[in-house]
């Protein structure tokens, strides 16, 4: 007799947002990953050892797949036993965080088991809600990562490992810090991988965001509201898409600094429509909490392969090697950025995609 309580979340976006045929999808993912060099000039051979935290986009693969593949190329799953997947809610308002009630997540490549034991531990904190089947299956921010996760895990020595999917709601800054603290023991455990799902700037009238960086020196940002603004505010040598790029890059720089307060200030000032800002905020808050507790990387985790890239010199540590890349625990390094199109006027729109990683 079958278990009627065994819930397999369907791959509801397969065949539309990405290929529904498993063999074709596997071939596409292989092409995405093989299109990325096997060695990074800055970070050495890929994957980067101990890079068990990644941030990647969640749009349709025709738009963001090649960019997202960069994060997965850098992802080191050699030590992990489970994968935490954090994504925003696009269809329902959620003021907290929610976990899945499924036992498996379907992908065209094969199913990913859910780590129900870890989910029960999270539920026991009484801080998490439970997604309904409908909410779970309608949300794409989690699903768009599943084929990549399956692909990377299935081709690694450890094989398929269970998933801990978490939907992150529209949290207050205080709640972001609280959930960061709840997840900090898992962030500090090398047996856990983390995938953070986020696109970057959504620009255009259809997104309700038409801000323009009028003065990059003083970070003066003004909204474009009419065609006349294109002549009075937009500079000929600084088109809208370049403004979007700089606003996004400012966000990447702030996130890399690792201060939740500064990240919150950046979002408040720019109003940048980063749809995964709350999952990123929870990550930053969790990492910052651990750093405040004195957690840091071991020295050997900060040494790149010989001759790979311009390293930051760690002068005070008197290293034997000529150089050492000064990785910090949980510091975000951004490795790829693209826009879906280039905006020149108010009729245009675009979504930005970025991929990054952190060693932990």
- Whether omega for the bond prior to residue 359 falls within 30 degrees of 0, making it cis, is no
Over residues 352-358, mean pLDDT: 98
Confidence of residue 325 (pLDDT cuts 50, 70, 90): low
Mean pLDDT of the chain: 92
Q: Is the pLDDT of residue 20 over 50?
A: yes
Burial environment of residue 257 by CB neighbours within 10 A (0 to 12, 13 to 18, 19 or more): middle
Compute the distance between CA of residue 355 and CA of residue 71 in angstroms, rounded to an integer: 5
Estimate the crossing angle of helix 173-187 against helix 260-270, to 10 degrees: 140
What tens digit of pLDDT does each residue of 37-63 get? 999 888 889 999 999 999 999 999 999
Residue of 276, 273, 41, 274 whose CA lies nearest to 140: 276
Q: Quick one: pLDDT at residue 5?
A: 82
What tens digit of pLDDT does each residue of 184-202 get? 999 999 999 999 999 999 9
Residue of 292, 280, 285 whose CA lies nearest to 251: 280
Q: Quick one: pLDDT at residue 19?
A: 98
Q: Quick one: pLDDT at residue 307?
A: 44
Compute the distance between CA of residue 45 and CA of residue 26 in angstroms, rounded to an integer: 23
Q: What letter does residue 203 receive in the DSSP assignment?
A: E
Over residues 24-44, mean pLDDT: 94
pTM of the predicted protein model: 0.92
Over residues 313-326, mean pLDDT: 43
Compute the distance between CA of residue 262 and CA of residue 42 in angstroms, rounded to an integer: 26
Q: Is the pLDDT of residue 319 over 60?
A: no
What tens digit of pLDDT does each residue of 200-243 get? 999 999 999 999 999 888 889 999 999 999 999 999 999 999 99
Q: Is 326 helix (H, G, I), strand (E, B) or coil?
A: coil
Residue of 305, 304, 283 whose CA lies nearest to 52: 283
Q: Quick one: pLDDT at residue 304?
A: 54
Q: Quick one: pLDDT at residue 42?
A: 84
- Counting residues of the chain whose pLDDT is more than 70, the rounded percentage is 91
């Amino acid at each position: 007799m079958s278990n009627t309580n065994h819930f397999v979340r369907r791959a509801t976006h397969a065949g539309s947002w990405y290929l529904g045929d498993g063999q074709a999808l596997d071939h596409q993912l292989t092409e995405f990953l093989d299109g990325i060099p096997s060695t990074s000039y800055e970070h050495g051979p890929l994957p980067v050892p101990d890079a068990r935290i990644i941030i990647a986009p969640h749009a349709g693969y025709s738009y963001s797949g090649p960019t997202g593949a960069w994060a997965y190329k850098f992802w080191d799953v050699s030590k992990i036993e489970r994968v935490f997947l954090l994504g925003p809610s696009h269809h329902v308002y959620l003021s907290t965080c929610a976990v899945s009630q499924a036992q498996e997540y379907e992908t065209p490549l094969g199913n990913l088991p859910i780590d129900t034991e870890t989910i029960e531990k999270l539920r026991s904190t009484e801080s998490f809600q439970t997604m309904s089947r409908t909410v779970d299956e309608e949300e794409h921010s989690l699903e768009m990562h599943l084929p990549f996760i399956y692909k990377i895990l299935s081709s690694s020595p450890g094989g398929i490992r269970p998933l801990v999917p978490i939907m992150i709601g529209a949290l207050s800054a205080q709640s972001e810090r609280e959930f960061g603290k709840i997840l900090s023991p898992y962030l500090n455990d090398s047996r856990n991988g983390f995938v953070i799902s986020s696109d970057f700037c959504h620009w255009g009238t259809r997104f309700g965001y038409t801000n323009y960086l009028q003065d990059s020196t003083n970070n003066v940002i003004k909204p474009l509201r009419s065609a006349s603004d294109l002549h009075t505010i937009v500079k000929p040598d600084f088109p809208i898409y370049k403004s979007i790029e700089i606003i996004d890059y400012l966000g990447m720089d702030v996130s890399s600094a690792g201060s939740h307060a500064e990240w919150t200030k950046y979002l408040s000032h720019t109003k940048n429509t980063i749809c995964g800002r709350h999952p990123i905020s929870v990550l930053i808050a969790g990492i910052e909490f651990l750093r405040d507790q004195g957690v840091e990387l071991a020295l050997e985790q900060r040494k790149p392969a010989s001759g790979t890239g311009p390293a930051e010199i760690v002068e005070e540590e008197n290293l034997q090697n000529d150089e050492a890349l000064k990785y910090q625990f949980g510091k975000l390094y951004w490795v790829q950025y693209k826009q879906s199109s280039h905006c020149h006027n108010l009729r245009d729109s675009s979504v930005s995609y970025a991929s990054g990683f952190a060693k932990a």
